[in-house]
Homo-oligomer: A and B are copies of this chain.
Amino acid sequence: MTFHAIVPAGGAGTRLWPLSRRSAPKFLADLTGSGKSMLQATVDRLAPITDDVTIVTGAAHADAVAALVPGASLVVEPSARGTMGAIGLAAAIVEARDPEAVVGSFAADHLIADEEAFRRAVLRAAEAAEQGYVVTIGISPDRPSTAYGYIEAGESFGPACSVARFVEKPDEATAAEYLATGRYLWNAGMFVAKAGVLMDALARFHPELAEPLRALAATWEAGREDGVAEYWEPLESAVIDTAVAEPLAEEGGVAVVPVEMGWSDVGDYASLADVVESNEQVAPRGSEQTVLAPPDALVYTGHKPVVVVGIPEAVVVDMDDVLFVTTRASSQDVKLTVEALGRSGLGRLA
């Protein structure tokens, strides 16, 4: 089996501003003080079990990505067409060389504490993929989160379980019910399948997407640089979950590998603080500054020590160009704050 990882690196979330910016998305940031970007960490996490890692990113970030992760292959999207466009293009390129090769797509900006558990789960998913399934990795929930979509697991078989259905983000009562059944998993948006299986499924559900993607891959594989105007630009934006995974699950074609691995999509400061260990202050730019703060504080130091007194669950981000102070409880307001920057003449910091 050859196994190709696909890492779509796009999106410009503002909920972790100012660690992430419009010009420097979350995947370029070091959120945990590990000394490497989330993208590099994602690639490093995959390297031991994959033959190749392909990063799919936009032209705006291509140079930064190439500099940060020189070891990875790079596919530059002509423009954004959703996760289906990004993953589909990379999968179609793999398929053109070897339809039996397994591809797996993994977000560039998630945190995973237990990397061994992650790799074991991915290898099991690849095993199920060899049997012809599109396989997702399902996170065993430890709380009734309303922030994620859920996967209802069905019968177990060999390396995985069948997927009964995908469900949207639930309300709190429904999430609690899901948790109580023990059959629901968080959808972390990771998909593993044979390149040919994935593209064939796409061709059945969305031929208008699969055909141009395959055609563009063919021109690129032939060493030409044309086809973008003809095939890519007219493409509709789509997400892989609704374009392939959900309709295929109804047919019984999707499997899931459940895993506990300390996963987070670090969607905001509250979830970031959940992941960064208590009392472990963070120096994202390699500085080693002293922090005097309560254990529940999340502090990103810059060039000087930081002292925090009397603010429960404080979040302090000391960047070169801006100082941001908030609390975990205000995580949801960060996005609004970023939108307000322009009105205060601080649009350059967004």
Contact = CB atoms under 8 A, between A and B. Distances in A.
Nearest to A302: B323
Interface stretch (A71-79, A130-138, A251-259, A309-317): A309-317
Contacts of A321: 304-305
A227 to B, nearest CB: 44
B309 A341 contact: no
Nearest to A324: B307
A306 interface: yes
B346 A329 contact: no
Nearest to A333: B309
A344 B311 contact: no
A124 to B, nearest CB: 42
B327 A307 contact: no
A147 interface: no
B290 A308 contact: no
A292 interface: yes
Given A311-B311, A330-B309, A292 B325 contact: no
Contacts of A329: 310
A323 B309 contact: no
Number of chain copies forming the complex: 2
B327 A311 contact: yes
Contacts of A330: 309-311
A325 B345 contact: no
Interface string A140-178: 000000000000000000000000000000000000000
Nearest to A349: B305
Task: Give the residue among A310, A318, A344, A349 with the most B Cβ atoms within 10 A.
Answer: A310
B327 A323 contact: no
A53 to B, nearest CB: 36
A45 B11 CA distance: 57
Contacts of A319: 304
A222 interface: no
A213 to B, nearest CB: 41
Contacts of A302: 323
Nearest to A348: B305
Interface string A280-296: 00000000001010000
A307 B323 contact: yes
Contact of A325 (B290, B306, B340, B344): B306
A162 B290 CA distance: 55
Contacts of A311: 311, 314, 325-327, 330
A309 B334 CA distance: 8
A225 interface: no
Contacts of A314: 311, 325
30 contacts: A18-B307, A290-B345, A290-B346, A292-B337, A304-B319, A304-B320, A304-B321, A304-B322, A304-B323, A305-B322, A305-B323, A305-B346, A306-B322, A306-B323, A306-B325, A307-B323, A307-B324, A307-B337, A307-B346, A308-B326, A309-B324, A309-B325, A309-B326, A309-B333, A310-B327, A310-B330, A311-B311, A314-B325, A316-B325, A318-B323
Interface of A: 18, 290, 292, 302, 304-311, 314, 316, 318-327, 329-330, 333-334, 337, 340-341, 344-346, 349
